Structure 1
Amino acid sequence: MKFIHAADIHLDTPFANIKNFSKQLQNNLRNSTYTAATKVFDTAIREHVDFVILAGDTYDNTEHSLTAQQFLNNQFTRLKENNIEVYLVYGNHDYYRNDFASIKFPENVHIFTNQVSTLEVESHDGLKVGITGFSYYQQHVNQDMVTEYPSRGKYDYQIGILHAGVGDNNYSPFTVNELLTKGYDYWALGHIHKREVLHENPFVVYPGDTQGRNQNETGTKGFYLVTVLSKITNIDFVPSSSYVWKKDAIAAEASDNLSEMIKKIDSKLDTDDFGLLTLDINNAQLLNEDLVKSIERGDLLHHFEDNISNTILYRVYLKFGNSQQLKQIDQRFWDDSVEKVFDLNSIKDLDKKLYNIDVLREHMDSPDFLKNIQELTKSTINKKFIGEEK
């Protein structure tokens, strides 16, 4: 038996801060989620899989644009012609609302309702497979839905589909141990945009999204091809991202001028990979004040707008190192106050309305959020001391 486990395709992702890119590149980026999805379905056909699991957030929002629906309808029809079933749940981004503006998909597509249920399918090699899951019918699901999942049934192989976060009270919170008690053979997770295997034997897997959507979603994205042979499960990661988000850094020197800075950045862009680079310029306190102003008003970004290399400069951040004052006196006060000031729950409570916006909440809940805020704060403090030291 073979199946594909994909999640978080996010068709129609708008992609922020790309207005300075060429029209062709803007269009390519906006189409990249469709390109990634096409790779999912092409792989399913090429590998002759039994079925495809889409574990939530196939669309980027609950509107389900006609373009996205028609695209999926065409792809699902291709799968039907190749005797491949589709099992789909809706997540927090694309939660189900009504059928009034929905295209009817072909009969090989099975969409789970808001009630946990189990569907049955027989694989090409004769395995009786149970697939259990549910769809979001609202943006937030605060209850632990795993309690509604039945224990393993009389199947040769059972799969649980769950769009949720470990211990995340907004999105069907769960623990890995809780999943293991169900006795399933595979848990097809969605929601977290980072590829991660939480457990093996049985597998509990986040495939991540199929195309990175912003500068925090770095690295190659994709999905899993799952093979079950003699009751042994193997997973193979299949890359699908057209553009890879990257992060890198260069070190500033006191002798740097704009030409030298351009040469340093050129060396970072001279790669074979298609990507979008977020670049830190460390030790920016060493740079001439006029050069700092030039970089802050976007001169470097404008210079590289028409760059023909595969890697595109997306963002530049100046990082100012510790000043003598901070090292000698203020470091102690920083260390004393950092845990109180940079409290994640306090930050979330500053404006609960903002925290209820999906994109902001996802950003705040990312593992590096607090670290990035602290680094930016330090850099801002250090920048203010530059004039005093010079």
Structure 2
Amino acid sequence: MRFLHAADLHLDTPFVGISDFSKELQTKLKASTYESAQKLFRVALEQKVDFVILAGDIFDDTDSSLKAQMFLKSEFEKLNQANIKVFMVYGNHDYYRSNFSVIDFPDNVTIFGKEPTEKVLTAKDGQKVGIAGFSYYQQHISKNLVQEYPERDAVDYQIGILHAGVGDNNYAPFQISDLLKKGYDYWALGHIHKREVLNEKPMIVYPGDIQGRNQNETTPKGFYLVTVENTSTQIKFVQSSVYTWEKASLNATTDDTVDSLITKIQQLLNKPNTLLTLTIENAQNLNADVVKTIERNELKQHIQTLATPGILYKISRNYNSNPQLATIDQKYWDEAEQKAINLDDIKDLDSRLYSSDIIREHISQPDFLEHIVKLTKNAINQKYTGE
């Protein structure tokens, strides 16, 4: 038996922060989620899988476009002709509504409702497979619904589809131990955009999204081809992303000019279809005219006109500690950091902003506070450069 496990297609992702790219590149970026999804369904046909699992956030928004719906319908019909079934749930981005879709999908598609239920099918090799799941019916679900998944019955292989985060109170929170207790053979997870295997026996898997959507979603993206033979489960990652986000840094010296920076940056843009976020370290070494060229976006705009395999997305500058500041007792800096940068205080700054799904998700990232501290130190170092 073989199946594909994918999640977080996010069709119609707007790709913010690309307004200074060429119109052609903007169009290609916005089409990339569709191209990635096309590869997913093409691989399903080529590998002649039994079924495809889509674990939530198929659309980027609950108000999905007709274009996205018709695209999916067309791809699903191709799978239907090849006798390949689709089992999908809606997530927090595209949560289920009674009038959600304006078109009907073909009969090979099963969309789970708001209560955990199970569907049973017989694979081509004769294995009887149970597949359980539920769709979001609102943007946030604070209840752990794993306990409501059906108990394993008389099947050869049991799969659970779950769009959720470990211990994340806003998105059907669960613990790995909750999943292990169910006795399932495979948990097809969605929601977290980082590819990760949480457990191997049984398999508990996040495939990540199929196309990176911003500078923080680095590394190639894709989905898993899952093979089950003689009770053994093997997974193989298949890349689907058209563009890959990467991060790199270069060290600035006092001898650097705009020309030398252009040469250094060109050398970093050596991989096709990469979107590079660049950090210039030791920016205090740059003279004022070079800094102005960077601040005015002139350097980035010039790089974007060059025929490089990769694409420069963003330039940021990192100012190392000023020697004058380093003489201050470190203890007082540490105390100031603890008092001034507090996660609860940040959340309380504006309740309206924190109620935004995107902002709350960003603040909840494990490295958020570390990033804020880094930005603060960088701003202080930049202010006192040369004094």
Instruction: Specify the TM-score bucket, using the shorter chain as the normaliser.
Output: over 0.9
Note the alpha carbon deviations across 1:111-148, whole angstroms, 9 max, x for none.
Answer: 00001101111101111111011000100001111121
User: What's the counterpart of residue 312 of structure 2?
Assistant: 313
Partners of 2:100 and 2:134 in 1: how far apart? 21
Per the alignment, in what secondary structure is the counterpart of residue 375 of structure 1?
A: helix
1:254 corresponds in structure 2 to 254
Equivalence for 2:332: 333
Could you tell me which amino acid in structure 2 is paired with residue 68 of structure 1? A
- Residue 117 of structure 1: aligned partner: 117
Instruction: Give the deviation of 1:360 after TM superposition.
Output: 1.9
- Residue-by-residue CA offset, 1:33-85 (whole Å, 9 max, x unaligned): 00110111001000000000000000000001100000000000000001000
Give the superposition deviation at 1:102: 2.0
State the Cα distance separating 1:309 from its structure 2 match.
Answer: 1.5
TM alignment of 1:356-371, pairs within 5 A: 356-371=355-370
Q: CA deviation at 1:29?
A: 0.2
Deviates more, 1:139-148 or 1:361-370: 361-370
Secondary structure, aligned partner of 2:384 = helix
Alpha carbons 1:20, 1:305 under 8 Å: kept:
no
1:151-210: CA deviations, max 9, x gaps? 222210000000000000000000001100000000000000000000001000000000
TM-score normalised over the length of structure 2: 0.97
1:214 and 1:330 map into 2 onto residues whose CA distance is: 39
Q: Any residues of structure 2 matched to 1:89-108 within 5 Å, and which?
A: 89-99=89-99, 101-108=101-108
Q: By how many angstroms is 1:100 displaced?
A: 6.3
Question: What is the alpha-carbon distance in structure 2 between the residues aligned to residue 129 and residue 383 of structure 1?
Answer: 60
Structure 1 residue 294: Cα displacement: 1.8
1:384 corresponding residue in structure 2? 383
The CA distance in 1 between the partners of 2:372 and 2:351, in whole Å, is 18
Matches of 1:345 and 1:180 in 2, distance apart?
33
Render the CA deviation track for 1:276-300: whole Å, top value 9, x for unaligned.
Answer: 0000000001111222122111111
Instruction: Name 1:19's counterpart in structure 2.
Output: 19
Tell me the secondary structure at the aligned position of residue 150 of structure 1. Answer: coil
Unaligned runs of 5+ in 2: none
Distance 1:21 1:165, change over 3 A: same
Q: Which residue of 2 aligns with 1:282?
A: 281
Q: What code does the residue aligned with 2:110 have?
A: H
C-alpha separation in 2, matches of 1:23 and 1:106: 35
Q: Match for 2:280: what amino acid?
A: I
Q: Does the 8 Å contact 2:69/2:101 carry over to 1?
A: no
TM-score (norm 1): 0.97
**Amino acid of the structure 2 residue aligned with 1:345:** D
8 Å CA contact retained: 2:211, 2:242: yes
CA distance in 2, matches of 1:244, 1:233: 29
| Mapped partners of 2:172, 2:372: distance in 1 | 28
- The amino acid across from 2:105 in the alignment is F
Task: Give the secondary-structure state (helix, strand or coil) at the position aligned to 1:247.
Answer: strand
Tell me the C-alpha RMSD between the 2 structures.
1.3
* Structure 1 residue runs without a partner (length 5+): none
CA-CA distance at 1:330 after TM superposition: 5.7
AA paired with 1:115?
A: E
